[in-house]
Chains A and B, each alone.
Chain A
Amino acid sequence: MADATPDWIDIGGIDDIPARGARTVRTGGKPVAVFRTADDEIFALIDRCPHRGGPLSEGIVSGKSVACPLHNWVIDLDGGQARAPDVGCAPAIAVKLVDRRIFLAADAFAEAPGPTAAERGQTA
């Protein structure tokens, strides 16, 4: 399937995201948060906290983790696992940085988990 479409999608430059910050990427229904750490590492997760679906892209980024703005679950950016004692996972999406451009793995968008609550609100 990966062969049918380009492997990587260029979604923007690293300087479009503030250090220790995040931006969202519009997808065909799949909310994705792209994070930039203080060390210019880039990570991408489904923009939904495994707890109550809070937008991780709005959380405070420190080190390689983000704290969900709704109830302060701390999620590891590298892999998307919630830090103990909480348990859960925000699916990670493969991402690479080439010449300060950010690319997301295209095959991650094969199966869409549906719109976010906010996006549902848009159609209501």
Chain B
Amino acid sequence: MDMHSPRRERLIVIGNGMAGMRTVAELLERAPARFDITVFGAEPHPNYNRILLSAVLAGEKSLDEIVINPRSWYEENGIDLIAGDPVVSLDAAAGVVRSAGGRALAYDRLLLATGSKPLAPPIPGLDLPGVCAFRDIADVETMIAAAQHGRRAVVIGGGLLGLEAAWGLKRRGMSVAVVHLMPTLMERQLDVAAAQLLQRDLDKRGIAFFTNGQTEEILGGERAEGVRLADGREVPADLVVLAIGIRPNIDLARKAGIDVNRGILVGDDLRTSDRRIFAVGECVEHNGQVFGLVAPLWEQARICAARLAGDDGAAYATPPLFTKLKITGVDVFSAGALAAADNADDEITFHDAKRGVYKKLVLRGDRLVGAVLYGDTADGSWYVQLMREGADIAALRDRLVFGQTAAGGDATVPAGIDIAAMAEDAQVCGCNGVSKGRICRTILDRNLTTLEDVRAHTKASASCGQCTGTVEAILVHIVGAEAAAATGREPALCPCTEHGHDAVRRAIGEQKLKSMAAVRAALGWKAADGCHKCRPALNYYLLCAWPGEYGDDPRSRFVNERVHANIQKDGTYSVVPRMWGGLTTPAELRAIADAAEKHRIPTVKVTGGQRIDLLGVRKEQLPAVWADLNRAGLVSGHAYAKGLRTVKTCVGSEWCRFGTQDSTGLGVRIEKMCWGSWTPHKVKLAVSGCPRNCAEATIKDLGVICVEAGYDIVVGGNGGVEVRVTDHLVRVASEADVLEHVGAFLQLYREEARYLERTAPWIARVGIDYVRQRIVADAPQRRALHRRFLHSQEFVQVDPWAERAERGVEAHEFAALGRAG
């Protein structure tokens, strides 16, 4: 006997699909050298993700994109793949399989992963050209070809598969009708209410439905021309797709004498009645249950691999089943029970018809046993987790239906998932069967730091992408926690330093650092000059900390703030003069018109901030344009600055019959106080003269809304990409109070927000209660903040245009160096 290379056991896998190859992959991780592995596949393709065939049909993915194991994977792992040569017989007594192509191979262990076959109704016409199932790549190719030539399709079956087929064909331009035997769609996964919402939404998208429709015959002579229903209705069609369900593919096992019922019978060890033969996937029957969803397949693969690797303790139990419908823009989620089984069960329902959101939770005692979600499925994973853990939800019950965030989960984690509480073996990526534990291990073992890396190494979120948020949250959970443990600091300001924004600012104040070079030296900057990320930040922090002492560094400012105009995509600039509170005069308008004509400025536009934008000014023209505007009293509007932009106003009590206070006048006074200030990011203000709020004060960084009793001050709004409505700060009685609160608020923002952080994310970070505490509750501190604001304003309220147009400041900016060529 050769002691050095004992003969490896031979494992033959029949079926090159998701369950079989998942088992092989798990086995290779556990016992890479135990078996010589041969895989037989009936289809001529490598293993692909059958779940995503609907995405291929809908044109959202290519066939290449749904391949799970490319041919190279088989080669790299020494697996002999025999694709396109199906096994036709199995001699269990001799331990030999035979293929259609005449191969005869002996095995020590055999894995049956023969999958399922589409169910076909017992009706005439099934053999006609133009009739297909929706099961494999060949079917999808048939459907795509039909969509190119034919106009009309009928899908028989209104379940998950049928609806995805219908949507894909609709996307391919066909007119599609769905014939469904039952009164409501997806009746095994959805209750009546959710099913009706689904049918309504799909109907709006142009899919016709024949519910209670029993197909009696597929019509047509040469090829399919339509279907006839039992009630006499006829639906014309060029393509008929059968999607009424699947049945386990057990032919091979049955002929070999292995025990079968609906599926191949397996125990918790996933062995068949023959000790050497295992089975996984849609071909098996376990405890009377057969399978068509992915989660139990992955679990079977895991247990079967453990058994094959010699772990005799591994036992399979069916995990909680959940379903998602993969139709873009239609969010459907279902897990566990659809409805209360008896009086002991309770249902919690939430229905917002206008938003198209419906949620039903089924409770048994203090346990969650079912969830049906329509329109908003973000909390689906959390509900499954609660079901899997059998968690006691008594304390959450009143908020449960509103999701994890409302129920007190960690709101910073997307998709309502508490990563820390998530079980290690919880399935994160259903498409590729990746658990939380595996993602965590891979991140740690390989030191991964980006989502792309995690995707590349684990395949998690690499297919349908629905779990991207969760994968990202796991990455943050691991890397963030590790980084925090190692340094105890916020993320670094830029690659030049280990320090975060807050640490740098503290050091500037505590160590009295008054120049960029001093900061970089004291804090061990890696690059002598810093970089384009840290230089503008440090310049701002120093300006804010040492008003009147620190000299602004134009070379550390973004071009707009250096040139005092906004660079446009063609390299020209835009010029926006200030209009105090949005007020102007005929003389100012005349000066703007004259300047635009004189300098041939191509575009003149009214901005959202109630002023006028002159666009397309060349850099060397800027001083002359400014000089002309200055002569009419117009000064820089700082439309380019991380600083005060505008104070938008409505006309207020001076003219408006609803106005309660002089909003225009107050706006002008606020703007006069605040103009020229530099802030972490741009700041937009508004004053509305009554609660009708015509100045849109509730989406500004700071808004004032006048009421009969005084002035409401609101803060932290934003009308940009992520709209945020302001939080109410305080109601004050007088204009003087308004000015003091505005100055104090801006100074708090200047001193404590991070560079490039708008007020909205800043307040979201520190909380409005903190801001109220500092500005409202602590009056001496408010007055001190206001005083510091006014002090710093003494040094900046100089019109930068006049300095450049008349006094030649930074003149090199606006003229070429010389001439050559």
Q: Which residues from 733 to 760 on chain B have a C-beta closer than 8 Å to any C-beta of chain A?
A: none
What does DSSP make chain A's interface, helix, strand, loop or mixed? mixed
Residues 529-542 of chain B, each 1 if its beta carbon lies under 8 Å from chain A, else 0: 11110011000000
Contacts of B531 in A (CB 8 A): 62-63, 67
B527, chain A: closest CB distance, angstroms = 6
B817 touches which of A12, A20, A38 (Cβ 8 Å): A12
Residue contact A58 to B567, C-beta cutoff 8 Å: yes
B774, chain A: closest CB distance, angstroms = 33
Q: Which residues from 42 to 91 on chain A have a C-beta closer than 8 Å to any C-beta of chain B?
A: 52-55, 58-63, 67, 69-70, 72, 74
A79, chain B: closest CB distance, angstroms = 18
Contacts of A53 in B (CB 8 A): 571
Residue contact A24 to B618, C-beta cutoff 8 Å: no
Residue contact B818 to A18, C-beta cutoff 8 Å: no
Give Cα A117 to B619, complex, Å. Answer: 12
What does DSSP make chain B's interface, helix, strand, loop or mixed? loop
User: How many residues of chain A have a CB within 8 Å of chain B?
Assistant: 50
Residues 782-821 of chain B, each 1 if its beta carbon lies under 8 Å from chain A, else 0: 0000000000000000000000000000001000111111
Residue in A32, A54, A118 whose Cβ sees the most chain B Cβ within 10 Å: A118
B555 within 8 A of A: yes
Residue contact B556 to A60, C-beta cutoff 8 Å: yes
Contacts of A58 in B (CB 8 A): 559, 562-563, 567, 571
Residue contact A12 to B818, C-beta cutoff 8 Å: yes
Give Cα A17 to B558, complex, Å. Answer: 17
Give Cα A23 to B819, complex, Å. Answer: 11
Give Cα A34 to B812, complex, Å. Answer: 13
B572 within 8 A of A: yes
Give Cα A11 to B817, complex, Å. Answer: 7
A63 touches which of B528, B570, B817, B821 (Cβ 8 Å): B528
Give Cα A16 to B811, complex, Å. Answer: 10
Residue contact B820 to A27, C-beta cutoff 8 Å: yes
Given A23-B812, A69-B567, A118-B618 in contact, is the A60-B817 Cβ separation under 8 Å? Answer: no
Quick one: closest B residue to A67, CB to CB?
B532
Given A38-B528, A59-B532, A63-B529 in contact, is the A116-B571 Cβ separation under 8 Å? Answer: yes
Give Cα A37 to B527, complex, Å. Answer: 13
A25 within 8 A of B: yes
Residue contact A62 to B812, C-beta cutoff 8 Å: no
Residues 516-557 of chain B, each 1 if its beta carbon lies under 8 Å from chain A, else 0: 000000000001111110011000000000000000001111
Between-chain CB contacts (< 8 Å), 25 pairs: A9-B820, A10-B818, A16-B817, A17-B812, A18-B555, A18-B812, A19-B555, A20-B529, A25-B820, A26-B818, A26-B820, A29-B821, A38-B528, A55-B571, A69-B558, A102-B817, A104-B820, A108-B821, A112-B821, A117-B570, A117-B571, A121-B572, A121-B602, A121-B618, A122-B618
User: A23-B817, A26-B816, A34-B817 given. 10 additional CB < 8 A pairs?
Assistant: A24-B817, A26-B818, A26-B819, A38-B528, A62-B532, A69-B567, A70-B569, A109-B821, A118-B570, A118-B571
